[in-house]
Amino acid sequence: MAVQVSVIATSSLGDRSYLATDGQVAVVVDPQRDVDRVLALAGELGVRVTHVVETHIHNDYVSGGLQLARLTGAEYLVSADDEVGFDRMPVADVDAVVVSEELRIRVVATPGHTFHHLSYVLDEASDGGWSEVGVFTGGSLLFGTTGRTDLLGQQHAHELAHHQHASARRLADLLPDGAQVWPTHGFGSFCSASQADAPESTIGREKQANQVLRLAADDFVTETLAGLDAHPAYYAHMGVANAAGPAPVDLSPVARADAGQLRDRIAAGEWVVDLRHRKAYAASHLAGTVSLGLDGPMSTWLGWLIDWGVPITLLAETPQQVADAQRELVRIGIDRPAARATGTPDQWATDHADLRELTVADFPALAAAQAGNAPAGLPAPQVILDVRMTNEWRAGHIDGAVHIPLPDLPQRLADVPPGTVWVHCGSGYRAAAAASLLANAGREVVAIDDMFGQAEQSGVTMAPTV
């Protein structure tokens, strides 16, 4: 059979892992920490994993590569230049590894996202030789963009951006236009300099669509560095864990917490996270909890907002939802929640006084309230708080709004001016999280659950664009 490449997507983190096989053996690229997904796919395909490869020491998730290699007996390929605390097969530029008679991978040094970043060209046997099928590019050449170059510190960002430009050009020169491009990042990951512009791509398409292959080096560096926004604070812990060698995951259920224990955890300043949809949270929730629904990038925002190491308790409607959240969290190194509770807010409260509602509105309601015609039951807005990221704010915002990006809010609650706060984001997810934090601080708050694109057409006054 021809070489087959399967995608293992982790949409919550904006990443993809890959399994490439000739029908007998398989190579796995950049696996996430919950490797049971990879093993299940290999089982479905009836193939044996013989090689696991890392394109780089990841900054946005804890890798499952080491554990997968140990479980399968596979060779574990990691850059020879990376200092790691475990045994691996060190590889470097121009190395070639014959996986089987039908499949080969070739190592290409592509520094930029990190100093020792590697890409892997996938070759299949053809007419007594080898032909390129595609290239696993990790955080190098992405769909319509590249991996960001500031994750190792701003002091390296300029140099790495120059490397990134040269690496992308090298791949474009090395491979035919029809070769597939298989990046790890770029599907919502903060490791990406900007968002992917397509669900799949080839070298030829990237030559047409990707600025890194269209701009001169200095122009690319200037444009790339100017467009970078903040990245999650928990990234600081990921590279350290991956270089040391991550421990196996434990996804077994954690201890249940009763209503009294939940009250005590909240009183102690621990994080009790409500995983239900924000509409359910608004209708009724346990006072002192934070809304981070499983329908959005819960682990990214939770990992970014918390003080690292603080105990976390998970609330959900079903045990499966808690299990799903645990899986999300181990990917960023939050290995064991402190406790869990399932059911309804009535079951989580010691008495009815522990329950709260969250007032919700939309942008037409905000426009009406600004005009002095606040809909019945809604307090007039004295503060409009925008919790989107800086790049979103610069692209357009409401006139007179206060801007505090959601990741900064826990430390900047005192910077929110006094009065009733109407808080918004781009869609409603971050606004619900922010509203819960504000309410927990004793503020009167209204969460705007609406798409920001609806604001201006709803009659909300926008700030003049610069």
Q: For residues 189 and 182, what is the distance between their CA atoms, to the nearest angstrom?
A: 15
Query: What pLDDT does 1 receive?
Result: 62
Contact 103, 22 (CB under 8 A): yes
Contact 340, 314 (CB under 8 A): yes
Structural tokens at position 68: 């997968």
pTM reported for the whole predicted model: 0.93
Each domain of the chain, given as residue ranges in start order, spans 4-244, 259-356, 360-458
Q: Which CATH superfamily is domain 259-356 in?
A: Rhodanese-like domain (3.40.250.10)
Query: What pLDDT does 211 receive?
Result: 94
CATH architecture of 4-244: 4-Layer Sandwich (3.60)
Contact 387, 404 (CB under 8 A): yes
360-458 has the same fold as 4-244: no
Cα–Cα nearest to 374, from 389, 361, 384, 358: 361
Q: For residues 247 and 241, what is the distance between their CA atoms, to the nearest angstrom?
A: 9
Give the CA angle between residues 340, 335, 305 to the nearest 5°: 80
3-state secondary structure of 256: strand
Contact 210, 35 (CB under 8 A): no
3-state secondary structure of 394: helix
Task: Return the exposure string of 82-104: e unless at least 16 CB atoms fall within 10 Å of the residue's CB, then b.
Answer: bebeeebbebebebebebbebbb
Q: Does an H or E element contain 132, and which?
A: strand 129-138
Q: For residues 35 and 41, what is the distance between their CA atoms, to the nearest angstrom?
A: 10
Structural tokens at position 271: 């994080």
Cα–Cα nearest to 56, from 73, 19, 81: 81
Per-residue pLDDT tens digits of the chain, which is 466 residues long: 689 999 999 998 999 999 999 999 999 999 999 999 999 999 999 999 999 999 999 999 999 999 999 999 999 999 999 999 999 999 999 999 999 999 999 999 999 999 999 999 999 999 889 999 999 999 999 999 999 999 999 999 999 999 999 999 999 999 999 999 999 998 888 888 777 777 899 999 999 999 999 999 999 999 999 988 899 999 999 999 999 999 999 999 999 999 999 999 999 999 999 999 999 999 999 999 999 999 999 999 999 999 999 999 999 999 999 999 999 999 999 999 999 999 999 999 999 889 999 999 999 999 999 998 888 889 999 999 999 999 999 999 999 999 999 999 999 999 999 999 999 999 999 999 999 999 999 999 999 999 999 999 999 999 987 6
Q: Which CATH superfamily is domain 360-458 in?
A: Rhodanese-like domain (3.40.250.10)
Contact 60, 185 (CB under 8 A): yes
In the chain, what is the straight-line distance between the N-terminal and C-terminal CA atoms, in Å?
57
